[in-house]
Structure 1
Amino acid sequence: MSQEELLLTDSTIAFRAKHPETIKNWENQIVKDDCTPDHHFCYHALEEYPNLIAHLDVAEYRLDFAINAHIVHAQLQEQFLDDGHTGPIALEHANNELLKIYGALNEKEPVGRAAILKSLQ
């Protein structure tokens, strides 16, 4: 599993390094299925992407992917808020963008993956 497939962008790596207790807490929430709505969305939306799920079949990779996706989702939501959108609209835009990322990562050919990952950097 490459770092790109786990959405380990520079900002995601920095967040994980700065907040290890938060990451540990999120791992526990996923295992107990007691996540926040955004985290729940990031984790359970993966079910719609069979090729991506096949790459993330081992539970550890799925947990890491969900955590990284949650970080990316929060960054996207913050970006939409900074652009002047209201909370619910920013959330909806972040959801749609994350689903586009999942869709690109779900492709069998890596062309879409490279474009998505480059835009996240």
Structure 2
Amino acid sequence: MTQEELLLTSETQRFRTEHPETIKDWERQLASGECGPDLHFCFYALEAYPNLTARLDAAEYRFDFAINAHILHAKLQEQFLEDGHIMPLALEHANEALSDIYRALNEKHPKGRAEILKSLQ
């Protein structure tokens, strides 16, 4: 998988570099199955996308992908809040946007994946 397909954008890379202890904590939470609701959503929503999950066949990739998605999810929520949405609505919009990203990455055809990855940059 490419770095873009792992949602490893410049923003997620920067967050990972600046907050290594947070990343380790999230990895521990995922491994134990005891994570907060947003991280839980980012990880377990993958089950609905079998093609994407198949490409993330190693557990480390799934954890990394979910953590990158979690970082992206927080950024999406922040953008919706800045646009004037209240928190529950911002969360719902972020969930929908992340599901759209997962759906696009689940596409078997690279063309569909390329479109959504372009929007992340």
* TM-score of the superposed pair, with normalisation by structure 2: 0.98
Give the corresponding residue for 1:82: 82
Q: Following TM superposition, by how much is the alpha carbon of 1:22 offset from its aligned partner in structure 2, in angstroms?
A: 0.4
- 2:97 is aligned with 1:92: no
Which aligned segments of 4 or more residues in structure 1 are displaced greater than 3 angstroms? none
Q: Following TM superposition, by how much is the alpha carbon of 1:113 offset from its aligned partner in structure 2, in angstroms?
A: 1.4
Superposed, which structure 2 residues align to 1:1-121 within 5 Å? 1-121=1-121
**CA distance in 2 between partners of 1:23 and 1:116 (Å):** 25
**CA distance in 2 between partners of 1:28 and 1:108 (Å):** 31
Q: Following TM superposition, by how much is the alpha carbon of 1:89 offset from its aligned partner in structure 2, in angstroms?
A: 0.1
Q: Following TM superposition, by how much is the alpha carbon of 1:21 offset from its aligned partner in structure 2, in angstroms?
A: 0.5
**CA distance in 1 between partners of 2:60 and 2:18 (Å):** 21
Q: Following TM superposition, by how much is the alpha carbon of 1:110 offset from its aligned partner in structure 2, in angstroms?
A: 1.2
1:69 maps to amino acid: A
**Structure 2 runs not aligned, ≥5 long:** none
1:76 maps to amino acid: L
**CA distance in 1 between partners of 2:70 and 2:112 (Å):** 20
Q: Deviations over 1:87-115 (max 9, x none)?
A: 00000000000000000000000112111
**CA distance in 2 between partners of 1:60 and 1:29 (Å):** 13
* Number of positions where the alignment pairs a residue of Structure 1 with one of Structure 2: 121
Identity %: 69
1:46 maps to amino acid: L
1:12 maps to amino acid: T
* TM-score of the superposed pair, with normalisation by structure 1: 0.98
1:93 maps to amino acid: H
Cα RMSD over matched residues?
0.6
